Structure 1
Amino acid sequence: MAGTSLLALIDDIASILDDVAAMSKVAAKKTASVLGDDLALNAQQVSGVKADRELPIVWAVAKGSLINKAILVPLALLISAFAPWAITPLLMIGGAYLCYEGFEKIAHKLLPHKPESVAEKTEASAGEKSSADAAKTEKDKIKGAVRTDFILSAEIIVISLGTVSSAAFIDQVMVMVTIAVVMTFGVYGLVAGIVKIDDAGLYLSQLRGEGAFMSVVRRSGATIVNAAPLLMKTLSVVGTFAMFLVGGSIISHGLPFIHHLLADLTAGHQGWVNSLITGAADLLVGILVGAIVLAVVLVTSRLFNKKA
């Protein structure tokens, strides 16, 4: 009797695990596009630091990402159970922040800056930047990356929740925890590989050995070293565009008139044409929203400064 009950319990557990694996696979497919943007954004966020600090920063952001998901998974389940109407507005606020952050990056590069003083130029040229300043810059970079990850993680969690919304509560929890853990380590494992690709290329270029094979290996390593700066610059551009695409997509889906307009524009189109039209519309919406939010922030900050 006890043996039969044990076998029935094991069979139930196996069945649940099979269901969780199947639903996790579906959820992973649906979040793949967001993960691509997440990868580009985070590789961009942790670039431009000293080589010996790259992996510690990636690890710090990865831990922040896990904390984000530890907050978001139960929060998403609670909101879905008690206030499902709040999910879209909250996502739209996060999407607007992403658009603002992307437009601020562009504005910072295009708009004129306050000229540096002679003392600042002399200090910078002499390389007198203190270790405290370097630590603060690194801390700010980690905070920025974790903030961006929070919004992207929220979208991933919501998409995953939508995939398993009709499943039992325990299945929802298991699927979302699985997605959160696997995606975090997958994304930041790839980010770590990207930021250290130049070191891998340098290692290959310095290998000793005779023969055509080793010669090809060394040339490949040298090519990787030369291509690494271009890759990081490309990821920086892609990461900025990803902010507009993800943020614009969230805004577009949250505003019915834009969503219906997109449906009319893509009607009758399939495949890459549909994706191209949707992507262009999301990009345009993201840029416009980013410009509007940045303008509001600048005007508000000036008004408060005048009052102060």
Structure 2
Amino acid sequence: MPGGLVALLDDVSIIARAAAASIDDVGVAASKAGTKAAGVVVDDAAVTPGYVTGLSPARELPIIWKITKGSLRNKLLILLPGALILSLILPTAIVFILMAGGCYLSFEGAEKIIEKVGGAKHGETLDDTIEDPVAFEKGRVNGAVRTDLILSAEIMAITLASVSAESFFVRAAVLAIVGVGITFLVYGAVGMIVKMDDVGLHLAKKPSATLQATGRFLLRAMPWLLNALSTIGTVAMLWVGGGIILHGLAQVGFSAPEHFMEGIRHSVEGATHALGGIFGWLTYAVSSAVFGLVIGVLLALIVHWGQTLLGKGGSVH
């Protein structure tokens, strides 16, 4: 009996040590994966404020919370199980899914630029008379969640690639940790950004001259910041979308476009010496955005041609 008890306790201690080691592995892997996904996090944070810009201040945080919940559903209910299943049974499909997402982002970014240079508007905007505010808000939330799905897919794909050598349990745990952590990081930051003008208004009413000056600065700066974030968000769509497509093409055997971009990057790095890392990265980012813009414009032309051909009602004229 004592021998059996000792053996049981020994087995328990082994299991406990293994569990502790697994938790440690998850923490290390999540940290590494989160770092690699940081670039897409910046893009996600830049894109989202545009969905609440110009709406009633009272609706800003509720809308962001709706988008946050949609993002969590995207990551935990769709992307996490989908990524794990595909990594087990059909890992090559992930590349094509990401490329389709890259095309969507490129299309959305191109549409925004076409609108800014005087093209037809893409859907209802704040410049139009909004007859149904509830439907308009719902449309904005749905648009944000769709865009989040693509950006989240890229985050989860980067995370999965970072832990591909780990056990199934570790991969699942890391995907969940990174997905939830990044969601609250991104949308928490977005919430603070869009409410900064309210903070400025509050400070401007304080008796302290320093606080009043700070409040006035925030009030003056926020419109510029939100406009800048809107522009950054558009560029981010093209940058991420173009980068996804370039990398995906290389993975399926058509590596010439990516090699061409890499060649330009290496040339810039060699010419700028100590600042080569910064300028090389910037060159590749701009090249990816230009590539995404070209793909997006082509897709926009095809979509608009199809809409013209079929008509809004779906019938051929």
**Match of residue 228 from structure 2:** 234
**Match of residue 211 from structure 1:** none
Question: Identity of paired residues, percent?
Answer: 37
Matched residues in 1 for 2:9 and 2:52: separation? 54
Bigger relative contact order, structure 1 or 2 (CA pairs below 8 A, ≥6 apart): 1
**Which among 200, 220, 228 is matched to residue 214 of structure 2?**
220
3-state DSSP of counterpart to 1:99? helix
Unaligned 5+ residue runs, structure 2? 1-5, 122-126, 250-254, 270-275
**Which among 40, 58, 61 is matched to residue 55 of structure 1?**
61
8 Å Cα contact 1:92-1:250 kept in structure 2: yes
Matched residues in 2 for 1:204 and 1:10: separation? 53
**Match of residue 124 from structure 2:** none
Q: Aligned ranges for residues 102-181 of structure 1 at < 5 Å?
A: 102-111=109-118, 130=131, 133-181=132-180
Q: 1:112: Cα distance to partner?
A: 5.2
Matched, 1:44 2:50: yes
**Match of residue 307 from structure 1:** 316
Q: 1:263: Cα distance to partner?
A: 2.5
Matched, 1:294 2:288: no
Matched residues in 1 for 2:46 and 2:210: separation? 29
Matched residues in 1 for 2:265 and 2:219: separation? 42
Q: Deviations over 1:59-106 (max 9, x none)?
A: 000000011002101101111111111111111111111111111112
> Which 4+ residue blocks in structure 1 deviate beyond 6 angstroms?
none
One-letter amino acid of the structure 1 residue matched with residue 182 of structure 2: M
Q: Deviations over 1:136-174 (max 9, x none)?
A: 110110010000000000000000000000001100000
Matched residues in 2 for 1:229 and 1:7: separation? 59
One-letter amino acid of the structure 2 residue matched with residue 105 of structure 1: K
Task: Give the 3 Å change call, closer, same or farther, for CA 113–169 of structure 1 in structure 2.
Answer: closer
One-letter amino acid of the structure 2 residue matched with residue 62 of structure 1: T
Q: 1:3: Cα distance to partner?
A: 3.8
Matched residues in 2 for 1:106 and 1:148: separation? 16
Matched residues in 2 for 1:222 and 1:141: separation? 30
Matched residues in 2 for 1:112 and 1:96: separation? 20
Tell me the matched-pair count.
Answer: 290
Unaligned 5+ residue runs, structure 1? 115-120, 209-213
**Match of residue 199 from structure 1:** 198
3-state DSSP of counterpart to 2:92? helix
The alignment's TM-score, normalised by the length of structure 2, stands at 0.87
**Match of residue 98 from structure 2:** 91
